[in-house]
Structure 1
């Protein structure tokens, strides 16, 4: 049964239930205590050991019911015995010696289930990853069970008039067995491959351009919102605690001598000096004009999902004029908040200079030497004054200025773009028009980016 438990843990991981090696050991110990006899006790004990949130409990329940489903095979019933017939010599001819054929003729579903699960283990059906593999895996499973021999027996029985009945019964059993094998492989695909398909789609959407022509499909938008939250949670788990970064090559003499006291003054444990990395303070200034509204929505979703690891977050949005959006984002989901922001300041002629003026006049006190400023916009100011002096002021007062532009760098400075001029006052200015790019930038900020 250890193999079954390991396969079940793998199915849980495919269903986004995190199971660490230590938790897998705990699960094995739990099974040793409660056993397999009481299904409900077995399920509840494993759930208490492995599921760590309400979402994981729901995923655990679905996976458990699918993995441990043992529905009876839908086989044609054996005919009632007549005269001197026995189970080993049924009507329609003498029963073949093949064990699979005998199980089909008797309608022995228990034996057939055991044979199918054992054949699946030998052929690696649980390694299925793509829906296109289902037909091939089904055939491999049936061949391992001995279906080819059954087909030969059926073909031979049809050649003799006295064994026509046996051939028909075996053929009916063969068709039922093929249908059950297809259902079994489908369950394995649901257990092990559904997560792979979802992961593949998420990887594609993580690389999808946020400023793609024609916009983003609503179905993809919903998946991408979930993906952003998943990325944020991954980063939050990684950077939620205050960290210390060792300065290799800088010996901490005091702590080294203290540790050496346990070894008679011999410095076995060398301690290096370290610097404390605090949670960052972030000011996000987002262009919400039509060309970059989708990217702004995802950036704000990302940042607001990181409340555990960000010391302070102030968000501002602009099109023609700039307004703070913290209250709007606190009162509404990000999707509805963006619509409300657009209703307030959207559909105006973009003016970066006027927006910088609004920020510096009303909110410049939000900046200090611990603040990272993240701009998101294409830098197209419709030939208005870009107010480079205010951009320089923000640069001087901040720890770091990062500008994310959805447009390729070759477009910077073309037409009404002043991005090449703004880039002079940024510690980082880069093209960023995918979720994967956003994740990399935010991770750099959480690592406490130190400007050069």
Structure 2
């Protein structure tokens, strides 16, 4: 059963439960104590040892129920019962009424001894033997390696080959000539066997294919242009942005031991240990002071880029464990500070309020920069990274590049993230090339992958 537990851990990870190697070892030790006889006790044991949150507990319970349920092998009686139901409803049955005898455990006479093992089991309607054969075929076909729905046919064929479908076809051809009634019973049993294999493959795909399917969906979403998302994709993108925030927090919130301690100062170490013949009993370390990130974000929320700004603000304000201080501003025709709105409200409510105050207007970068210079320029210090997210389209108004130059002189860095493609920069009313000389970094940022990379590089500059 150890292999079975390993497969269960894989299925649990696919269901979104984080199972570390240490936790899997603890779970296996606990299971060795309680055993497999009591299914309810086994379920509770795995929930206690693996689930860390209520959501994980629910997902793990569903995964357990699905993993340890086995499709019941279909027999001739099942096929005949389905045919009878079709007959009662007025539909013509797929099999002749005399092809099977419901309720008779051994069927119409015993199976000829010269038939193969699989044909013997099917004609005898031995459910336990068929279930054991299906489990063995699943192991032989490595069914737990299924990842995509396009592999269903492949694994169904592998399982049927492992069961001995070639021998069964030969037995069926021989019975058609010698005993047509038995041949019809065997053909009906074969159809039931195919249904059981199909159900097992579908169950395995649900268990082991979810993680790969989720990764594929996330990868497609990560590369999707955020300005052209469908409504149903917006919530999925917000979940992806939260996952990106968690990943960045884990990467940057816990400094490595070497970063905390610094690097060995060889000269000071030698001097401190001169009394002991330069044997390094005492060590000296070079420590470098690292500032925690301070960010000022200026986000264009005009109609063309409002959705990208929504995701960007959600990501920045989710990094509270990494970023020491974030001040956020939104603008279209004029600029306002929105830090308190984002801190006190849920993202959806916050963006609705922001858009009602300043959103969907005509962009005026010059007037917005003038508002920032007049009221909040002192917020920019040599420790501050200023991030501007916008398409730099100012409707042919004065772009006030002089103000951006002043901000650049005061700040640690100025980073411009443009959700528009590079081919559009400088065309029409785009002022991107006039702003670029006063930025330390200018990047296209049209999808979640580029957004994650940009924010990661900004935070990493402080490490």
1:371 to 384, 408, 412: 384
* 1:137 aligned partner: 155
Q: CA-atom RMSD, angstroms?
A: 3.0
After TM superposition, give the deviation of residue 60 of structure 1 in Å: 1.1
Aligned residue for 1:390? Answer: 403
Provide the rounded CA distance (Å) in 2 between the counterparts of 1:302 and 1:220: 17
The offset of 1:285, in angstroms, is 0.9
The reply on whether 1:167 has 2:197 as its aligned counterpart is no
Corresponding position of 2:124 = 106
1:355-366 correspondence runs (5 A): 355-366=368-379
* Structure 1, 375-384 or 392-401: larger mean CA deviation: 392-401
C-alpha deviation, 1:284, in angstroms? 1.2
Contact 2:273 2:279 in 1 (8 A): yes
User: In the alignment, does 2:237 pair up with 1:237?
Assistant: no
- Could you tell me whether the CA contact under 8 Å between 2:111 and 2:120 is conserved in 1? no
Counterparts of 1:6-405 in structure 2, within 5 Å, are: 6-77=6-77, 91=109, 94-160=112-178, 163-211=179-227, 215-243=228-256, 246=259, 251-253=264-266, 266-267=279-280, 273-405=286-418
Shift of 1:102: 2.3
- 2:444 is aligned, of 431, 439, 445, to 431
Shift of 1:37: 1.7
**Secondary structure of the residue that 1:284 maps to in structure 2?**
strand
Structure 1 counterpart SS, 2:209: helix
Cα distance between partner residues in 1 of 2:246 and 2:5: 28
Report 1:411-422 matches (<5 A): 411-422=424-435
**How far apart, in 1, do the equivalents of 2:264 and 2:401 lie?**
44
Q: 1:243·1:277 contact (CA, 8 Å) conserved in 2?
A: no
User: SS of 1:283's equivalent?
Assistant: strand
What is the rounded CA distance, in whole Å, between the counterparts of 2:110 and 2:40 in structure 1?
Answer: 45
| Residue segments in structure 2 that go unaligned for 5+ positions in a row | 78-99
**Cα drift, residue 195 of structure 1:** 2.2
Separation in 1, partners of 2:203, 2:113: 32
Cα deviations by residue, 1:166-189 (Å, 9 ceiling, x for unpaired): 212211211111001000000010
What per-residue deviation string (whole Å, max 9, x for no partner) do you get for residues 137-161 of structure 1?
112101101122122211110102x
- Displacement of 1:81 in angstroms is 10
Q: Cα offset for 1:356?
A: 1.1
Alpha-carbon distance, 1:202 to partner: 1.3
Please, which moves more after superposition, 198-207 or 184-193? 198-207
- Paired residues in the alignment total 440
Is the 1:247–1:272 contact (alpha carbons within 8 Å) kept by the matching residues of 2? Answer: no
| Secondary structure of residue in 1 paired with 2:426 | coil
Structure 1 residue 252, shift from structure 2 partner:
2.1
- Contact 1:242-1:276 within 8 A present in 2 as well: no
Kindly indicate whether the alpha-carbon contact (under 8 Å) linking 2:295 and 2:384 is maintained by their aligned counterparts in 1.
yes
Deviation at 1:58, TM superposition (A): 2.1
Q: C-alpha displacement at 1:266, in angstroms? A: 4.1
Contact 2:394 2:431 in 1 (8 A): yes
TM-score by length of 1: 0.89
Unaligned runs of 5+ in 1: none
Q: In structure 2, do the counterparts of structure 1 residues 49 and 279 end up closer, same or farther at CA, with 3 Å as the change threshold?
A: farther
